[in-house]
Amino acid sequence: MTGLALGCRINRKSLFDRKHYFYADLPAGYQITQQRLPIAVNGSLAYSICVGKKPAQVVPRTVRVKQIQLEQDSGKSLHDDLRSQTLIDLNRAGVGLLEVVLEPDMSCGEEAATAVRELQLILQALGTSQANMAEGQLRVDANISVHHPGEPLGIRTEVKNLNSARFLAKAIDYEIQRQISELENGGEILNETRSFDYKLGCTVPMRDKEGKQDYRWFMPEPNLPPLLLYDSGSLPAGVDPQQVINIDWLRERLPELPSVTREKLVRQYGMLPEHSVALLNEVGLLEFFQNVMKETRAEPKRVTSWVLNTFLGFLKQQNLAVSESPVTPAALAELLDLLDRKAISSSAAKKVFEELWRSEGKTPTQIVAEKKLELMQDPEELEQLCRATLEAHPGVVMDLKKGNPRAINKLIGLVRKTTLGRADPAVIKEVLERQLSS
C-alpha cells in the first residue's frame, strides 16, 4: 500500500537476502533484507515547503523514491560507560520493518524534515504504521553530501537513527556546514556513519562497529521463498484469498491521501494552502475542524482562523493533543454561531473561549449569560450611551471636527468601555457619525 501510495512500480516477485554482519544487537548474525529485488521501486513523494515568512508562499517539491524494501529490525545497544558494559535491548530484533530509500533530491534540513513529515502523514493515513518518531516507529537515516553546482555529488556521510523531524533538520544542516568548512579548510569527507548528539546539536562519528561494512556479501535468504504478488489478471484460480495479495484489490481500497485531503479543503472552503497544511499537521485537528464545520453556520474562513489560531494556540501553550482538549467541537461551533449572528463581539468571544477552556461542562450560551457578554441588542440604549459620551468629551469632538481622523476611534473606544465591550464597534461608529452629523 505504501508502494502504491508513493506511485512505485510494484515488483510482482521480490526476493529476500541476508546481509551479514557480526554485531551484538543482531542475534542471528545477519539481517534479512531485500537487496537484489525489493518489493517496490521508482516512486515519488510530493511535499510542499513554505518559503518566506509573511506572506508565506507554498512551493511544491518532489523527491524520488528509489525503492521500498522489507527487512528485519535489529536490537538496540545501550552503552554503559560507567561500568564499561553494553546492554542489548532485543525487543525489536527480528521484527519486520519497511525501509523507504529516497534519492538525493533534497537540499536542506527543512526540506528533508518536511518530506519525512509528509511520508509520516501518508503512512498514518494508510495505516501502514503509527509512525510515531519519538517511539521509534519511524526512524530516519540521513545521507548527506555537499558539492558545487554542476559537479557530481560529494562523498556522503550517514547520520543514523534520527528520531524526530526537528533533529533530522538540525543534523542535516549541521552536517552540511561541517562538510563545507571541512572542505574549505582543505580537509576531506570520510564515508562514515555518524550519530546526532541532540544535547550538543552536532553530529559525531559512531564509535562502534555498526558503521563498518562487513567484508562478506549478501546471500539469498534460504528460509524465505520469493514473495509473489498478483493482480486481478494474474491471480491463480482457486487460491485461498487469505494466502495471496491482489495489488488491484489493494489499490481500489487505498484511503484518501493527505495531498488530496488538502486539495479538497482548499477547493471546498476556499482555504489558503498553508492552512490546509496546518490542519493536517496535527493529529486529530482536521477531524476537529470538520466536526465544528458540521455544526456551525459560521463562515469556513472564520472557523479555520479560530481552529488554527485560538484553539491550536491554547493546545500548544499547554502542550496538549487535540484529543485532550477541554473544548469540544460542539462548544466551539456554538460559540462561533453566537459570533456569527452578532450576539457577541469577537473580543467577548475570546473571553468565552477562555472560560470554556477553564470550566468544562458549561455551554457558551451559559457563559455569555453569566458574564453578561452579549452585545447590546437595544438600539435606543446604545443611542443614549453614544450621546452621553459625546456630551462628556467635547474636546475629542472638537478634535474630530478639526479633521483629526483618529478622534473617531477614541470615541468608539470610550463608548465600548461604557458598554463593557458588549457593542459592535462598527455599529458604534455608525451611531456616532449619525449623531455628529445631525
Partner 1 sequence: MLGRTLREVSTALKQGQITPTELCQKCLSLIKKTKFLNAYITVSEEVALKQAEESEKRYKEGHSLGDLDGIPIAVKDNFSTSGIETTCASNMLKGYVPPYNATVVQKLLDQGALLMGKTNLDEFAMGSGSTDGIFGPVKNPWSYSKQYRGKKQQKTHGEDEDSNWLITGGSSGGSAAAVSAFTCFAALGSDTGGSTRNPAAHCGVVGLKPSYGLVSRHGLIPLVNSMDVPGILTRCVDDAAIVLGVLAGHDPKDSTTVQDPVKPFMLPSLTDVSKLCVGIPKEYLTPELSSEVQSLWSKAADLFESEGAKVIEVSLPHTSYSIVCYHVLCTSEVASNMARFDGLEYGHRCDVDVSTEAMYAATRREGFNDVVRGRILSGNFFLLKENYENYFVKAQKVRRLIANDFVNVFKSGVDVLLTPTTLSEAVPYLEFIKEDNRTRSAQDDIFTQAVNMAGLPAVSIPMALSSQGLPVGLQFIGRAFCDQQLLTVAKWFEKQVQFPVIQLQELMDDYSSIFENEKLASVSVKQR
Tell me the site size for partner 1, rule CB under 8 A: 22
The Cα-based distances of 334 to 289, 291, 293, 328 in angstroms read 13, 12, 11, 10
User: In terms of CB distance, is 242 or 438 closer to partner 1?
Assistant: 242
Q: How far is CA 325 from CA 18, 56, 234, 283, 311, in A?
A: 48, 28, 50, 12, 9
Applying CB under 8 A, the span of 134-142, 199-207, 221-229, 300-308 interacting with partner 1 comes to 221-229
Nearer to partner 1, 218 or 314 (CB): 218
Question: Which C-beta is closer to partner 1: that of 242 or that of 317?
Answer: 242
The CB-of-126 to partner 1 minimum distance in angstroms stands at 25
Binding of residue 24 to partner 1 (CB under 8 A): yes
Q: Is 219 in the site for partner 1 (CB under 8 A)?
A: yes
Longest dimension (CA), the chain: 97
Element (H, E) at 168: helix 165-184
Under rule CB under 8 A, residue 22 binds partner 1: yes
Helix (H, G, I), strand (E, B) or coil at 85: strand
30 part of the interface to partner 1, by CB under 8 A: yes
Residue 216 is a binding residue for partner 1 (CB under 8 A): yes
Distance CA 297, CA 341 (A): 9
How far from 119 is each of 132, 149, 214, 327, CA to CA, in Å?
Answer: 12, 28, 31, 30
C-alpha to C-alpha distances, 415 to 48, 385, 394, 422, 435, nearest whole angstrom: 47, 7, 14, 10, 13
Contact 221, 28 (CB under 8 A): no
* Closest approach of partner 1 to the CB of residue 38, in Å: 18
Count of CB atoms within 10 A of residue 42's CB? Answer: 14
**20 vs 410 by CB, closer to partner 1:** 20
Task: Provide the minimum distance between the beta carbon of 221 and partner 1 in the complex, in angstroms, as a whole number.
Answer: 8
Site for partner 1 in 285-314 (CB under 8 A): none
Q: Which is nearer to partner 1, 39 or 367 (CB)?
A: 39
Contact between 223 and partner 1 per CB under 8 A: yes
Q: What is the C-alpha radius of gyration for the chain, rounded to an integer number of angstroms? A: 30
Out of 54, 151, 186, 215, name the contact with partner 1 by CB under 8 A. 215
Q: Candidates 82-90, 160-168, 300-308, 387-395: pick the segment binding partner 1 (CB under 8 A).
A: 82-90
In the complex, minimum distance from the CB of residue 1 to partner 1, in angstroms, rounded to a whole number: 21
Range 86-105, binding partner 1 (CB under 8 A): 86, 88, 90
If one asks whether residue 29 binds partner 1 (CB under 8 A), the answer comes out as: yes
φ/ψ of residue 14, rounded to 5: -130, 155
Give the 3-state secondary structure of residue 374: strand
Torsions phi, psi for 39 (to 5 deg): -70, -30
Q: Which residues in 233-252 contact partner 1 (CB under 8 A)?
A: 240, 243
User: Which of 13, 27, 57, 313 lies at the binding interface for partner 1 (CB under 8 A)?
Assistant: 27
52 binds partner 1 (CB under 8 A): no
**Of residues 9, 13, 28, 192, which one binds partner 1 by CB under 8 A?**
28
> Could you identify the residue written with the cell 519519538?
134
Q: Which is nearer to partner 1, 134 or 215 (CB)?
A: 215
**Identity of the amino acid at 43:** G
Length of the chain counted residue by residue: 438
Taking the C-alpha atoms of residue 115 and residue 119, their distance in angstroms, rounded to an integer, is 6
Report the residue number, 81 or 252, with the smaller CB distance to partner 1: 81
- H/E run at residue 176: helix 165-184
* Minimum distance of partner 1 from residue 2's CB (angstroms): 22
User: What is the smallest separation between the CB atom of 94 and partner 1, expressed in angstroms?
Assistant: 11
The footprint of partner 1 (CB under 8 A) covers 18, 20, 22, 24, 27-30, 86, 88, 90, 215-217, 219-220, 222-225, 240, 243
